[in-house]
Structure 1
Amino acid sequence: MQVRSRRGFLVAAAAITASASVGACRSRNEGSGGGDDPLDVSASAHLPAAPESLAADGTTIVLGDPGAPLAVRLYEDMSCPACAEFETEGTAPYLKRAARNGALQLQFTLGSFLGPGSKFAANALRAALDQHKFADYHDLLYREQSRVRKSGGFTRDRLLGMAIMIPGLRGPEFDAAVLETKHRDFVEAADEVLRKSPVQGTPAMAIGGVLVPSDSHALFTDRSRLYRRLKKATRAEE
């Protein structure tokens, strides 16, 4: 997990050198899914792409139906190793499937406290949203994060190079937005939202507006436990 002090966010060395030890992203229990419960969605389910939108606050990127009563917010920094582990090995893929299945809206607040590379990546993701490719590009950047980090982090050129792997993403509008940091206002505003929030590290999660305690590691790693928490939150919304 990445943590912050009173002077701002700092990188936790343990998260960089041994992120597998961080409770947020150790394992995954997928389950089979099925039936009439949209939250009980399996890894093998064939699902349509989730709608992608920018919320009215101008800083939240939403996957899924923005009118869905159940909202799960994720706080991330694209350069955070623990976030990458959560997104590739933890319960984040399940949350994205649930959003694609209409069970919830998945909201992203993208911080950029880990330096210029995080800001470049957040800007590029905002540009990808304009092309309706946020989810695909977001997944790709986290899959490639470890390799990119070893070579110095996200740069504009690296972000464009990786974008080639997403069909339909590269083009004059996207390329210019990345190279010119078109969405710098979005990047700074989203980072400010994270800075002013009660979040003490990333990844962090809020379910139905309630921040998951930092010691609730199982919700970041165990699909079954997260499912049960989401079911409880869904009943509360009814």
Structure 2
Amino acid sequence: MQVGSRRGFLVAAAAVTASASLGACRRREGASGDPLDVSASADLPVAPESVAADGTTIVLGDPAAPLAVRLYEDLSCPACAEFETEGTAPYLKRAARNGALQLQFTLGSFLGPGSKFAANALRAAVDQNRFAEYHELLYRHQARVRKSGGFTRDRLLGLAIMIEGLRGPEFDAAVLDTKYRDFVEAADDAMGRSPVKGTPTMAVNGTLVPPGSRAYYTDRSSLYRHLKKVARATD
């Protein structure tokens, strides 16, 4: 877990030991009929992407879905990269694509200018409905980028070439001019006002996952059971 620097955040080494057990589970139209029970190989539609009315949250999936999972992240946080590439985050994105939940992102930028540039670029990617792909790509390349000084506008544009349909005059200008700086600052302030003590942090239907429940970040089965429990309570 990356604990922060600004506003009481203290930067520390990643504590998420990602040994995700994603397993082989049925998709929505399978025998189980459970949209949360989605496999890594399921052929799924692209999830809609939007910015919530609060102006600080990026939503992946149906914003009307009753089950909401919020992820607090910083794009420069090594623990977030581990969670997103090897932990349960890919499962959550599949569940959002399968209509099981809405996945909400609060992007902090307490780890420096590179985080701000990345959050701005990700907000710009929402306009092209390419947030999910770009978000995944940035985390896959985070370690290499971090070694060379972190995310810059030019590096973000260079990586964006790998996402079909993302680069273009509108996106490029938004990245180079930091078009969404107000969104970046507002999202960072929202994280600072929250009870979150570090990143990544997960909340389900507004409740932070219990202390000591790090298995939700690393083990697909543990997270699935927790989401099912919350979903039953909201029925």
Same fold flag (TM > 0.5)? yes
TM-superposition CA deviations, 1:99-136 (whole Å, max 9, x none): 00000000000000000000000000000001110000
2:151, 2:45 → 1: CA distance? 30
What's the counterpart of residue 88 of structure 2?
Answer: 91
What's the counterpart of residue 163 of structure 1?
Answer: 160
What's the counterpart of residue 223 of structure 2?
Answer: 226
TM-superposition CA deviations, 1:74-114 (whole Å, max 9, x none): 00000000000000000000000000000000000000000
TM-superposition CA deviations, 1:158-196 (whole Å, max 9, x none): 000000000000000000000000000000000000001
1:11 is displaced (CA, Å) by: 1.4
1:48 pairs with one of 35, 45, 49? 45
CA contact (8 A) 2:4 2:111 kept: no
Q: Does 1:27 align with 2:19?
A: yes
Q: Does 1:4 align with 2:1?
A: no
Instruction: Give the secondary-structure state (helix, strand or coil) at the position aligned to 1:67.
Output: coil
1:28, 1:56 → 2: CA distance? 33
1:82 pairs with one of 79, 82, 87? 79
Compared CA separation, residues 181 and 6, structure 1 to 2 (3 A): closer
1:5 is displaced (CA, Å) by: 6.5
Which deviates further from its counterpart, 228-237 or 207-216? 207-216
Structure 2: 5+ residue runs without aligned partners?
Answer: 27-31
Structure 1: 5+ residue runs without aligned partners?
Answer: none
Q: Tell me which amino acid in the other structure corresponds to 2:50.
A: S
Q: Tell me which amino acid in the other structure corresponds to 1:43.
A: A
1:198, 1:175 → 2: CA distance? 35
What's the counterpart of residue 134 of structure 2?
Answer: 137
1:73 is displaced (CA, Å) by: 0.2
Q: Does 1:110 align with 2:102?
A: no
Taking only aligned residues, the RMSD between alpha carbons, in angstroms, comes to 1.1
1:104, 1:234 → 2: CA distance? 10
Q: Tell me which amino acid in the other structure corresponds to 2:135.
A: H
1:195, 1:51 → 2: CA distance? 27
1:214 is displaced (CA, Å) by: 3.9
Compared CA separation, residues 120 and 214, structure 1 to 2 (3 A): farther
Q: Does 1:153 align with 2:145?
A: no
What's the counterpart of residue 29 of structure 2?
Answer: none
Q: Does 1:197 align with 2:194?
A: yes
What's the counterpart of residue 100 of structure 1?
Answer: 97
Amino-acid identity (%): 78
2:54, 2:7 → 1: CA distance? 26
CA contact (8 A) 2:47 2:60 kept: yes
Q: TM-score scaled by structure 2?
A: 0.95
TM-superposition CA deviations, 1:6-43 (whole Å, max 9, x none): 8432311xx1xxx3xx2x34211112211310000010
Compared CA separation, residues 98 and 7, structure 1 to 2 (3 A): closer
Q: Tell me which amino acid in the other structure corresponds to 1:37.
A: D
2:214, 2:110 → 1: CA distance? 22
